[in-house]
Amino acid sequence: MLEIRGLTASIGEKPILKGIDLVVPDGEVHAIMGPNGSGKSTLGYVLSGRDDYTVTGGSVTFNGIDLLDMEPEARAAAGVFLAFQAPIELPGVNNANFLRTALNAIRRAHGESELDAIQFLKLARAETKRLAMPDDMLKRNVNVGFSGGEKKRNEVLQMALLRPKLAILDETDSGLDIDALKIVADGVNALRSPTFSALVVTHHQRLLDHLVPNRVHVLAHGRIIRSGGPELAKELEKSGYADVLAAAA
């Protein structure tokens, strides 16, 4: 279970998150919606431990452990995965090698044996096939020369291989065609289990059609201003954020 209490955070001197309270019980998928610049990506970065974000108050625990106290790699080992809104390019770094290094780092942290190149490739090929991605995705350099859609699919592939306990997807569906959108939804749905939960940042109801969330939250100006069931997303799709923002003001 993810428990966020009174979380405030700044970039430099500028406060961005202004008191977030959010609980995601195990097995649930929650959607985060909200206007651009409201702090959705910031929340993902703060949960995963990015350096230039300073937590100024509140607490975050995941399955009872204090996340804010941990290095990013330790959070990853504890099962936190962030699918980046803008995935990063690593020139010269082979995607398969990157994924294997990451997977082995996490396996090591769990006291599991490392996978050799052959074992890994077998696993990775099975995932690319399942997610209907071309095999050559593994041979290319991490996100280098990838189209926007390929980058997002690569995030889903990484998530599928690393099998997180808490997945944070930051607009992974933005800019995707309908088929690719389904891949994202399938990626999350495949991981669904009583010990998996997800925070899905999105602007689009059509993703939520495939990925029926337990709860929907609206984030604006660094606060959650409204929460509801799946029907809230449908309402927002119809009438936009204006009414919700006005009601909260």
Partner 1 sequence: MSATAEILDSVQSGYKWGFETDIEMDLAPKGLNEDIIRLISSRKDEPAWMLEYRLKAFTAWKQMAEPEWARVTHPPIDYQDLHYYAAPKKKAGPKSLDEVDPELLKMYEKLGIPLKERAILAGVEPDPNERPQIAVDAVFDSVSVATTFRETLSKVGVIFCPISEAVRDHPDLVKQYLGSVVPVADNYFSALNAAVFTDGSFVYIPKGVRCPMELSTYFRINARNTGQFERTLIIAEAGAHVSYLEGCTAPQRDENQLHAAVVELIAMDDATIKYSTVQNWYPGDADGKGGIYNFVTKRGACRGERSKISWTQVETGSAITWKYPSCVLIGEDSVGEFYSVAVTTNHQQADTGTKMIHIGKGSRSTIVSKGISAGRSNNTYRGLVRILPSAAGARNHTQCDSLLIGDECGAHTVPYIESRNPSAKVEHEATTSKIAEDQLFYCRQRGLSEEDAVNLIVNGFCKEVLKELPMEFAVEAQKLLAVSLEGSVG
Ligand X SMILES: Nc1ncnc2c1ncn2[C@@H]1O[C@H](COP(=O)(O)OP(=O)(O)O)[C@@H](O)[C@H]1O
Nearer to Mg ion, 61 or 174 (CB): 174
Nearer to Mg ion, 103 or 225 (CB): 225
Per-residue contact flags (x/-) with partner 1 for residues 23 to 52, judged by CB under 8 A: -------------------------xxxxx
C-beta of residue 198 within 8 angstroms of C-beta of residue 166: yes
Which 95-134 positions form the footprint of partner 1 (CB under 8 A)?
A: 97-98, 101-103, 105-106, 109
CA distances from 104 to 50, 73, 96, 99, 142 (A): 22, 12, 12, 8, 17
Least CB distance from residue 39 to ligand X, whole Å?
Answer: 4
Least CB distance from residue 166 to Mg ion, whole Å?
Answer: 18
Q: For Cα atoms 83, 87, 90, give the angle at the middle one, nearest 5 degrees.
A: 125
Q: How far apart are the C-alpha atoms of 110 and 146, rounded to whole Å?
A: 32
Which 159-188 positions form the footprint of partner 1 (CB under 8 A)?
A: 162
Which of partner 1, Mg ion, ligand X, none does residue 36 bind (CB under 5 to 8 Å by kind)? ligand X
Q: Which of 3, 5, 11, 15 binds ligand X (CB under 6 A)?
A: 11
Least CB distance from residue 249 to partner 1, whole Å?
Answer: 34
Q: DSSP assignment of the chain, as one string? A: -EEEEEEEEEETTEEEEEEEEEEE-TT-EEEEE--TTSSHHHHHHHHHT-TTEEEEEEEEEETTEEGGGS-HHHHHHTTEEEE-SSPPP-TT-BHHHHHHHHHHHHHHHTTPPPP-HHHHHHHHHHHHHHTT--THHHHSBTTTT--HHHHHHHHHHHHHHH--SEEEEESTTTT--HHHHHHHHHHHHHH-STT-EEEEE-S-HHHHHHS--SEEEEEETTEEEEEE-HHHHHHHHHH-SHHHHHHH-
Which of partner 1, ligand X, Mg ion, none does residue 72 bind (CB under 5 to 8 Å by kind)? partner 1
Tell me: does residue 201 bind partner 1 (CB under 8 A).
no
Least CB distance from residue 86 to ligand X, whole Å?
Answer: 10
Nearer to ligand X, 100 or 217 (CB): 217
Per-residue contact flags (x/-) with ligand X for residues 24 to 53, judged by CB under 6 A: ----------x-xxxxxxx-----------
Least CB distance from residue 36 to Mg ion, whole Å?
Answer: 7
Tell me: does residue 12 bind partner 1 (CB under 8 A).
no
Interface positions with ligand X (CB under 6 A): 11, 14, 16, 34, 36-42
Interface positions with partner 1 (CB under 8 A): 48-52, 71-73, 75-77, 81-82, 84, 87-94, 97-98, 101-103, 105-106, 109, 141, 158, 162
